[in-house]
Structures are given as C-alpha cells and as structure tokens.
Amino acid sequence: MRLSKTFVKTLRTVPKDETAKNGILLTRAGYIHKEMAGVYDYLPLGLRVLENIKSIIREELNSIGCEEVLMSALQNPEPWTKTGRFSDQEVDIWFKTTLASGGELGLAPTHEEPITTMLKSYISSYKDLPLYVYQFQTKFRNELRAKSGILRGREFLMKDLYSFHTSEEDLDDFYTKVEQAYGRIFDRLGIGEDTYETFASGGIFSKYSHEFQTILPVGEDTIYYNTDKSVVLNKEVYTPEVLVDLAAEGQKFDETTAAEVGNIFKLKFKYSEPLGLKYIDENNSQKTVYMGCYGIGVSRLMGVIAEKYSDEKGLVWPETIAPYRYYLVGIGENGISAAEEFYCDRENEVLYDDRNVRPGEKFADAELMGIPYRIVISDKTLAEDTAELTDRRTGESQMIKISDLMQY
C-alpha cells in the first residue's frame, strides 16, 4: 500500500473518547474508527490485522477437520424460544427489532440455536457424524456498558465453532483437539506465553468449561494460578470445593487480571435436546446429538495484542499478524527511485510511505503503526550500496546490501 493513496491518517493527539491503550493506539495509528460506544469500523490496516488473525485461526481449525460457513446475523426467534433464550430475562443483551410485517427479529449474540436448527436439515444418520462447523461472524450484544476500546464491544467479530458427535467420548476427544489447536493459535498470535487455559463455570450440563485467559492489566476477569501455573481458575470457581475437585487444595494461589480470548464448552444435549437434533444409529434407533461449542474473540484479540505489544512510540505487531512486514522510506532522489523499485511487486508486504513529508514524520508513523521492519533507502546508504533495516521491537538497525534487499 502506498501511504499517499490511502484515506487513512495518523493522529498526533489522543482522542478524547478513548482511554484504553488499545483504543488510543489503534485510533491514532489509523487502524480503527469509532462509530459509537463499543462499535468500531476497521480501516484498511486494521482489517488486514483482523484478516491475519482469522487466517491463523482458520488454518489451525481446518487442520483438525473443521468446515467454515457464514451464518446470518438476523435471527428468527423460534428456535431461541424453544431453548428459552429469546427471553430478555434469560439473555439480557439482545438487540431486537421488528419485521415490516410485524414479526420480531433478533441480532445474533451467539449461534447455538441457529446452527443446531440448520444442521437438522443435514444430519440424519450416524454416518453424518462427527461434524465440526465454524464461522467468523459479527456478534451483537447490547452491553450495558461497552468499554476498554475494542476489548468489549456491542458489535464484535467472533469465531464460533460447533461440534456434533454420536458419543461423549468422541466429544471429549475433539474437545482435546480443540484445546491443542487453541494453544497453537495463541502461540502463533504471540500471546501463548501469557495465555492460560482456565477452569470456569460450566453451566448446566458439565461441571466446568474452559476459558483461555490472557494476562492483561486491563482485563476484565480475575484469575487465580498456582506456583507452576498448572492449575489456573477463574475467580467465579475459586472455591474450596473446586480446589478439592482439581486436587489442588492447600496450594498457594496468586491473583491477576486477564482478558478472556476464548471459551470452550461441552454442551452435550443442552441445545440438541430442546431443538430436536437427532440421528439414527447403527441399530436404527433415534439418538440425540452430542454438542460442543468453542469461541474465540477475534476483534478482542486484536485489542489484547495491541495492549500487550506496544511501547511509548506506538504499536509493535508480532510479525504473524502485522498488516505489512516492511515500512519503506526512500530519501533523496536516488533513494526514492530505489524504493520505488523495491516496492514494485511487493504491494502485499510493503507499506510504502511515499508521502511528500519529511523523514522524521515517516519514522514516527512507522513506529506508531508498529510495522515490524523499517527499510530506509537514501542517497547516503546508496553510496555504500546498502539500505538500512530497523527492527521495530528492538530498535536495532543493520545495513544490508541493496542486491540482497532486492532478493527478498
């Protein structure tokens, strides 16, 4: 991308209505634009980060046999009524609206009901199972109070995966596969070190669920962990009985705040039963499908990573999700034409600052935007037949041969 051609601009001042670091930096660097509280637009750079996060998740889920779909955001109340979840007393974060003809609609806060209902059209035999279906989808939740930049929005992007099985053992097996896939995903996103699989309350049909919590000062959850972090649990289940359950009684636990980036549930029959998702087994008898669900907050992850990877100068994206790998600056007539030559055919990995502004401004924006590597080609470096390569994270520069650079 040529910076001279995009509508996005960086801001020197801190927006008045952002106080969380992720909101401030992402806004200043031109990744997001706020529409209203908890509702954001993703600009070209922000969209690329989101897409990079999605790609990593997609690769890992596809590798364990998941299939991607895209379901509707508008919700027919009927299946939700069957599970009792269309009630505002049950689920108090619905956005609801009416059809021109008078009927009521909801904007999906999650998708257990519609996917269970949808798959009734496709699952009839044990031969159809297991099945793992996921999507990246905008969810709507009418939060009483949106806050913390993109960490807690009313409209946000989520990956939700649902699995369907003929037995509890099969559900357990797949659940383990997802746990492992999630571990790989968070590693690749650069937050593996600080992300813990955490015991949390499980709802009606299973004792516990698991959350993936990333340690973060502005996180909304409180978690407890033992000395070697082999047992980590959410405050909501930090009770003597649970510690006994986990064979961790008497151990010393420390407290910290964390942001929930993923949550996995063994639903079993919670939705398949009331919605009638059944199959015929080998003996020609009707059985109810076992289900699991597995979420990852995609837009929240972008905020969490922005919070974690940043310094006083701006963002510092991990290479795996950075919108571009290189930030290119040409200085002087010859420097600029060499930069043009390098940029040619590398539009997808190079953010080329071809604006007619002074170098200092470009350097400042390169740092604010958090592009992993900055390449500067100037008449001065060309005199040595080199270009300067600077690492955003360490700030260290090295001179590389122009001929080597052009090989990249």
Binding site for RNA (CB under 7 A): 9-20, 36-38, 85, 90-93, 109-110, 139, 141, 143-148, 152, 203, 220, 313, 331-332, 335, 358-361, 363-365, 367-368, 376-378, 380-381, 388, 390, 397
Residue in 1, 76, 89 with CA at minimum distance from that of residue 353: 1
Q: Are 260 and 221 in contact (CB under 8 A)?
A: yes
Nearer to RNA, 212 or 279 (CB): 212
Determine the Cα–Cα distance for residues 261 and 253; give it in Å rounded to an integer.
22
Both tokens of 38, joined, read: 């908890």
Nearer to RNA, 95 or 363 (CB): 363
Q: Which amino acid is at 236?
A: E
- Smaller CB separation from RNA, 156 or 279: 156
Residue 149 sits at the vertex; the CA angle it makes with 144 and 155, to the nearest 5 degrees, is 55
Of the candidates 261, 263, 264, the residue with the CA atom closest to the CA atom of residue 302: 261
For strands 253-268 and 290-297, give the pairing: antiparallel
- Among residues 52 and 378, whose Cβ is nearest to RNA? 378
152 versus 165: smaller Cβ distance to RNA: 152
Q: What is the smallest separation between the CB atom of 242 and RNA, expressed in angstroms?
A: 17
- For residue 90, the minimal CB distance to RNA (Å) is 6
Rounded least distance, CB 19 to RNA, Å: 4
Using CA atoms, how far residue 115 sits from 106, 179, 215, 282, in Å, is: 15, 22, 32, 25
Phi (first) and psi of residue 203, to 5 degrees: 80, -155
Task: Decide whether 168 or 361 has the Cβ nearer to RNA.
Answer: 361
Q: What's the closest the beta carbon of residue 187 comes to RNA, in angstroms?
A: 25
CB of 284 to RNA, least distance (A): 35
State the nearest-atom distance from the C-beta of 34 to RNA, in Å.
7
278 three-class SS: strand
Tell me which residue has tokens 């905008």.
138
Give whole-number Cα distances, 251 to 152, 208, 223, 230, 272, in Å: 33, 20, 15, 11, 39
Instruction: Give the nearest distance from C-beta 3 to RNA in angstroms.
Output: 10
* CB 2, min distance to RNA, A: 15
User: Which residue's CB is nearer to RNA, number 129 or number 233?
Assistant: 233
User: Which of 17/404 has CB closer to RNA?
Assistant: 17
d(CA 303, CA 38): 12
What element of type H or E holds 80?
A: helix 77-82
Q: CB–CB of 370/309 below 8 Å?
A: yes
